[in-house]
Chains A and B, each alone.
Chain A
Amino acid sequence: MNGTIPLSHHSASLEPPQAEPARKPLVQFQSVKKSYDGKSLVVKDLNLDVGEGEFLTMLGPSGSGKTTTLMMLGGFERPTSGHILLDGKAVEKLPPEKRNIGFVFQNYALFPHMTVAENIAFPLRYRNRSRAETQARVARALSMVHLDTFGDRKPGQLSGGQQQRVALARALVFEPSLVLMDEPLGALDKQLREHMQFEIKKLQVELGITMVYVTHDQSEALTMSDRIAVFHDGMIQQCADPVTLYNAPVNRFVASFIGDNNLLPCQLKLADKDRLRVAMADGSELDAINPPAGRMKDLSLSIRPERIAVAGKTSSPLNNRFQARVGSLFFQGDHVRLTLEAFGSDALVAHVAARDAAGLRAGDRAAFEVPFADCRILEA
């Protein structure tokens, strides 16, 4: 815990981390399946490695299998089949108390009849620490979460944010090899949530903790994670670093779940070595990237709203130009949100800089453009 903290890629660059040295896997899911009723699978054939010191987020809507996966890793649910390896050893039959994994629950699960200090000392009781060492560690853990003077209070006397810090301190005080968090910030208001995101991330980097974090909040996932595993329908749709996930989603679900997106039906018109061209529903054509590998039917073109610009305001010669009628304008402060009628859709969303949209009125026809590298063909 010294002064200089190497915060990861977040502040440094927005490029996907290039050829990072492969981390030694701490957690490995091998063909893990889970069914509660013996019929439908909540988790279908999960394969996932979590590297040592990594912050991995499992992101997905409710019912996508992310929490079940976390519960299996924590030892509260047993996989129906497959293996979970912790540091190379299969642990799926080990009870939670033998796994040495810190767990932060959504409702914090602090013991209400114990003081804050007793809560934090609880895990040390089972690790044969001397009285003096326990006290020293509790004090250090309290100061780590900025609650130095709160040791004698009961959890019920603390605010939600403070309780959340106590839960964090309790999960970290015994230096577990792995910390799991199940929507730990879900109950906090927006400002506190953003503050806690920063603090958790900072602690994770400082202490070099491996963390598996479950959330349904995509901005939280983008802010904190080294990698994000997007869950849907009991399967990981894509597992990648936040930049890759945002810029190069592999399917429609990921494309629309992470950030805003326009998904437009299209057909492949031309595909050769260095050019890819698609025809839209209204017959217009656009240059695109990401050639489909298999099926040629039911293709979608994914275009992020903020990549669409008013024509003439960008200088790249590789842009796709198109004409559109402006349906509506909503001023958002830093940008204007437009809905456009184009490509056979009457609800193409574009976010353009407020000053570029100055002359536009609802009902106007105007020219827009989008770089071809931001038009991604998706198969599924």
Chain B
Amino acid sequence: MWLPTYATPFERASRFIVLSFAICVLLFLIAPLFVIVPLSFSHDPFFTLPVKQWSLRWYADFFENPRWITGIINSTVTATSTAILATTLGTLAAIGITHPAFPFRKAAMAVLISPMIVPIMIVAVGSYLFYGELGLTNTRLGLVLAHTALAVPFVIVTVTATLSTYDGNLSRAAASLGAPPLSRFFRVMLPQILPGVVSGGIFAFAVSFDEVVVALFLTGAEQRTLPVQMFSGIRDQINPTIMAAATLLLALSILLFGTLNLLTRRT
């Protein structure tokens, strides 16, 4: 495979080793899927492999249980709000920070990106204490704000990347033709950087949808998101419904990143 016809036996052997190693790493990364997905379709109430009898009963269970449904609704609302807020703020920040006249650009960028690097526990405890003072714990607004802070760096990174290929003369041309600033942004710049903005929005949605630590701290029973529900589900009763929930989350992630891939390929 991909070897020149004149490869020496040593080259063939080393190529074989590299290839085997790579396959092992990939298998290791996706191995959990081989457990979770089959188990979610198993009839047995115990986690046993191989699956003896196939069934959709845990999916039925999932969709009949109001706690799971609330989780899905909460997660969707929170992630959508976060995506909208983070995309708006992150895009504005990216446009500002790439402006040639922006002072202290590197320092500002480091601060904006910091939520990506700061340990999640610190963010969670910090926002718990701070939002408690403001009365934002156990509210959806609080959770959305905290998730937005976590998601904004992803938007900034993707939008900054597309902005680096944006031709500033387009905005200048629009200005010379009479377009005021807002009009220049919506009619000329946004259509050009849209793939980056949408990618950032998808990242933001995924960050919020999968996030569990901050959500555990900030949510009460009413705002409980899907990952929080899964987490408490594991603690309370071990039940394959959680495998169905996990498989559904996985399917959503694949869908989101498939969309992302299509978007980046088009540009």
Interface size class of B (residues with CB under 8 A): 10 to 19
Q: Is A30 an interface residue (CB 8 A)?
A: no
Contact with A along B174-206 (1 / 0, CB 8 A): 111111100100011001100000000000000
- Bound together, the chains give a CA A102 to CA B173 distance in angstroms of 9
Q: Is B33 an interface residue (CB 8 A)?
A: no
Q: List 30 A-B contacts (CB under 8 A).
A: A76-B172, A96-B172, A96-B175, A96-B176, A97-B176, A97-B179, A100-B178, A102-B177, A103-B176, A105-B172, A105-B173, A107-B169, A109-B167, A109-B169, A109-B170, A109-B173, A110-B173, A111-B170, A111-B173, A111-B191, A112-B192, A113-B191, A113-B192, A122-B187, A123-B177, A126-B177, A170-B173, A170-B177, A171-B176, A174-B177
In the complex, chain B residues 133-190 whose Cβ is within 8 Å of any chain A Cβ: 167, 169-170, 172-180, 183, 187-188
Contact, CB under 8 Å: B178 / A102: no
Residues of A within 8 A of B178 (CB): 97, 100, 123, 125-127, 174
Contact, CB under 8 Å: A102 / B176: yes
Who on chain A is nearest to B171 by CB?
A: A109
Contact, CB under 8 Å: A103 / B173: yes
B179's partner among A75, A112, A122 (CB-CB below 8 A) is: A122
Contact, CB under 8 Å: B169 / A101: no
- Bound together, the chains give a CA A95 to CA B184 distance in angstroms of 13
Residues of A within 8 A of B170 (CB): 109, 111
Q: Sorted from nearest, which 5 A-B pairs have the closest CB atoms?
A: A126-B178, A123-B177, A109-B173, A103-B176, A109-B169
Contacts known (A107-B169, A109-B167, A109-B170); A101 close to B179, Cβ less than 8 A: no
Residues of B within 8 A of A122 (CB): 174, 177, 179, 187
B172's partner among A99, A103, A112, A126 (CB-CB below 8 A) is: A103
- Bound together, the chains give a CA A75 to CA B191 distance in angstroms of 24
Residues of B within 8 A of A184 (CB): none
Q: Is A65 an interface residue (CB 8 A)?
A: no
Contact, CB under 8 Å: B174 / A101: no
Residues of A within 8 A of B174 (CB): 111, 122
Residues of B within 8 A of A103 (CB): 172-173, 176
In the complex, chain A residues 342-379 whose Cβ is within 8 Å of any chain B Cβ: none
Residues of B within 8 A of A123 (CB): 177-178
Residues of B within 8 A of A125 (CB): 178-179
The count of chain A contact residues (Cβ–Cβ below 8 Å) is 26
Most buried by A among B174, B175, B176: B176
Contact with A along B70-95 (1 / 0, CB 8 A): 00000000000000000000000000
Contact with B along A46-60 (1 / 0, CB 8 A): 000000000000000
- Bound together, the chains give a CA A95 to CA B172 distance in angstroms of 11
- Bound together, the chains give a CA A189 to CA B244 distance in angstroms of 64
Most buried by B among A74, A103, A109: A109
A34 CB, nearest partner CB in chain B, Å: 15
- Bound together, the chains give a CA A74 to CA B174 distance in angstroms of 12
Most buried by B among A100, A110, A111, A174: A111
9 more contacts with CB within 8 A, not counting A103-B173, A109-B170, A110-B173, are: A97-B175, A97-B176, A102-B176, A103-B176, A105-B173, A107-B167, A111-B170, A111-B174, A126-B179
A250 CB, nearest partner CB in chain B, Å: 34
Contact, CB under 8 Å: B176 / A111: no
Residues of B within 8 A of A74 (CB): 172, 176
- Bound together, the chains give a CA A127 to CA B177 distance in angstroms of 10
In the complex, chain A residues 65-121 whose Cβ is within 8 Å of any chain B Cβ: 74-76, 95-97, 99-103, 105, 107, 109-113
Residues of B within 8 A of A99 (CB): 176
Residues of A within 8 A of B191 (CB): 111, 113
- Bound together, the chains give a CA A97 to CA B182 distance in angstroms of 12
Residues of B within 8 A of A109 (CB): 167, 169-170, 172-173
Who on chain A is nearest to B169 by CB?
A: A109
Who on chain A is nearest to B194 by CB?
A: A113
Contact, CB under 8 Å: A105 / B169: yes
Most buried by A among B169, B179, B183, B191: B169
A86 CB, nearest partner CB in chain B, Å: 13
A172 CB, nearest partner CB in chain B, Å: 11
Residues of A within 8 A of B183 (CB): 126
Who on chain A is nearest to B172 by CB?
A: A76
- Bound together, the chains give a CA A25 to CA B167 distance in angstroms of 34
A127 CB, nearest partner CB in chain B, Å: 7
Who on chain B is nearest to A106 by CB?
A: B169
Residues of B within 8 A of A101 (CB): 176
- Bound together, the chains give a CA A74 to CA B201 distance in angstroms of 36
